[in-house]
Amino acid sequence: MNTLRAGFVGLGSIGKPMAKRLAAADAVDLRVYDVAPAPVAELTAAGARAAGSVGELAVAVDTLCVMVRDDDQVRDVLLQVLEVSDRRTPDRPLTVVVHSTIAPDTPAALAEAARTHGVRVLDAPVSGGPMGAAEGTLAIMVGGSQEEFASVRPILAPMGGKVVHAGPVGAGTKFKLARNLLHFVAFTAATEAQRLAEAAGLDLVALGDVVRHTDAITGGPGAIMHRATTAPIPEGDFWHRVLSHALALGEKDLAFAISLAEQLEVDVPLSRLALDRLGPGLGLPAGEGAR
């Protein structure tokens, strides 16, 4: 088995456990760098080797994973990589894999800037948080060519339970942004539900327990995300029957919840918007749920 020479920059709350998974993987020679010495010491204790700079990593490894805070830090890391690109030979191309969540247009711009230096850039943001990173169960959404995706997959596999080729460079970031849109809109809806429950005198902690329990069974919002299109659903289609049933339940329960909110004088704007848009969002006219 060939040894995979990998580097990791950015050993924060998610980057550190990701790097630890790589350090423990068979056939991975891992080197790490971070501006903070403590996480570097943890990784060396876990079997990785410490590098003195980003440039040192960029010369020594073939795949460089980057998990820093934001666009500016990603650009700074790439600049340090490109400054030493002439110290690499053409038979050893470097691939930089950006795990940070950055602006949707940044990956393509970085890839274009790096290409003239013989460096490949892929975007591969992750979902699953520190727990998923520690367990190696992250979802990793990769933007790049099919060939580039195949070349980095052995490095990503120890860190991810689901590694998805999202499309060309930039697609991984757009995939992550769509996923997080759902995440944080759902968080906002959860705060609306909490206000309603609190006004009704209910136990909010118990409500949270029920939500997590039932979402683990049903799949939560992802339960409806099986169609390959958002187009209207024709009658007779399998999904028309399934989602019209979901629409009927949703419209009924949303109407009851809004009525309760009115009685308790709780503002629930997302619930009202959901009642109006659930049907069209599912591909069905509002009010046409199965009764």
SS3 11: coil
E strands present in 150-273:
160-167
- CA quadruple 274, 277, 282, 284: dihedral sign: positive
> Which whole-number Å values give the CA distances from 76 to 92, 136, 141, 148, 191, in the listed order?
22, 27, 23, 23, 37
CB 30 within 8 A of CB 6: yes
What's the number of CA atoms in the CB half-sphere (13 Å) around residue 185?
12
Identified catalytic residue from 16, 20, 174, 176: 176
Residue 36 DSSP code: S
> Which whole-number Å values give the CA distances from 136 to 152, 160, 164, in the listed order?
16, 5, 15
- Integer-rounded Cα radius of gyration of the chain: 23
In the annotation, is 176 catalytic?
yes
Q: Tokens 């088995």 identify what position?
A: 1
Would you state the structure tokens that stand for residue 250, as one six-digit string?
A: 């949703």
Q: Which residues contact 4 (CB under 8 A, 6 or more apart)?
A: 27, 28, 29, 62, 63, 154, 155
Kindly provide the b/e burial profile for residues 57-74, where b requires at least 16 CB atoms within 10 angstroms of the residue's own CB.
bbbbbbbbbbbbeebebb
Catalytic residue set: 176
